[in-house]
């Protein structure tokens, strides 16, 4: 059967960022829907942001493109141009290689659910606009290339 059981899809909670950048995303939940279907060329996640939680640090990708669709609730989309509210039914897209950092913040008092879709290039580099961090394919480094130490639990 091709139907994806949401409850059995791999779920990632919290953040994989090094300290202290992980703190704003510790109460988020990502269900990996594309992976559950065996898809490998792009990702699809069902993201739940609890009140006050960020989707990520503000970032942009060298090779990966991203698209978000708000399923329920509302979030603030933060880009270089400022903030705008996205409500259920609203969507936004982010082209690869455009250095306009973006992320979502749930500033409301209830959960927000967002569908995330994006390409998945093995050699993508992600640059974080507001902090001294770059994500290489298998590690986080400072802008000068020095690695971040592993985060303690």
Residue-wise pLDDT for 70-115, tens only, equals 999 999 999 999 999 999 999 999 999 999 999 999 999 999 999 9
**Averaged pLDDT of the chain:** 96
Residue-wise pLDDT for 20-62, tens only, equals 999 999 999 999 999 999 999 999 999 999 999 999 999 999 9
Instruction: For residues 113 and 129, give the distance between their C-alpha atoms in angstroms, rounded to a whole number.
Output: 24
pLDDT of residue 151: 85
Instruction: For residues 81 and 60, give the distance between their C-alpha atoms in angstroms, rounded to a whole number.
Output: 14
Cis peptide before 52 (omega within 30 of 0): no
String of DSSP letters for 78-130: EETTEEEEEETT-EEEE-TT----BEEE--SSS-EEEEEEEE--TT--EEESS
Let me know: does 85 contact 74? Beta carbons within 8 Å: yes
Instruction: For residues 59 and 40, give the distance between their C-alpha atoms in angstroms, rounded to a whole number.
Output: 23
Domains and CATH numbers, the chain: 6-141 (2.60.120.10)
């Amino acid at each position: 059967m091709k139907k994806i059981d949401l409850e059995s899809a791999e779920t990632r909670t919290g953040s994989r960022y090094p300290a202290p950048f992980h703190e704003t995303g510790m109460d988020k939940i990502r269900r990996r829907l594309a992976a559950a279907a065996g898809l490998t060329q792009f990702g699809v996640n069902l993201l739940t942001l609890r009140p006050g939680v960020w989707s990520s640090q503000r970032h942009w990708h060298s090779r990966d493109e991203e698209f978000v669709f708000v399923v329920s609730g509302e979030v603030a989309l933060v880009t270089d141009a400022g903030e705008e509210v996205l409500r259920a039914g609203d969507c936004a897209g982010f082209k690869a290689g455009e250095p306009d950092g973006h992320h979502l913040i749930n500033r409301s008092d209830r959960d927000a659910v967002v569908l995330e879709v994006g390409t998945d290039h093995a050699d993508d580099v992600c640059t974080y606009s507001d902090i001294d961090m770059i994500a290489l394919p298998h590690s986080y480094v400072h802008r000068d290339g020095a690695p971040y130490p592993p985060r303690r639990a």
